[in-house]
Amino acid sequence: MIVRGVNPAGVSWRVGVRDPRRPGRLIATVRLTDQAVCSSGTYHRGRHLLDPLSGVPARPIGATVVAPVAALADALSTAAAVLEPEAAIALLEANDVAGFVVTGHGVVLSTDGLAYLP
């Protein structure tokens, strides 16, 4: 999703992020202005992401990335979804974007720069 400008009240848009473990519920809300947000994981389309090292389906739960452009957010959310959570956060921080990952146990790890509202 790409968000431009502010909402009619003059504040950043609030974008809900679906909970990968509980369909129909939100796990977070992020505030955005002139940014893109993308999520990747196995909760919507099943185990369609492959571990690049082994070639077998990855076991991610979910990753969400906020970036200046949608292509970057999409690529990094997919990459983060197949990495171990700590490595995923390191990848996002190395690319100067905000985001979070959800582990199989429901633990949420996020970058420091995320306007994350549980």
CB atoms within 10 A of CB 37: 22
Range of the structural domain that residue 100 is part of: 2-117
**18-21: long-range pairs with CB below 8 Å, 24+:** 18/43, 19/102, 20/61, 20/62, 20/102, 21/61, 21/102, 21/106
Among candidate residues 78, 83, 85, the one with its CA nearest the CA of residue 102: 85
Q: Render each residue's pLDDT in the chain as its tens digit; 118 residues.
A: 999 999 999 999 999 988 877 778 888 888 899 999 998 876 555 555 666 666 665 665 789 999 999 999 999 998 898 888 898 999 999 999 999 988 877 788 889 866 554 4
What CATH code is carried by the domain that includes residue 82? Answer: 3.10.520.10
Count how many domains the chain has.
1
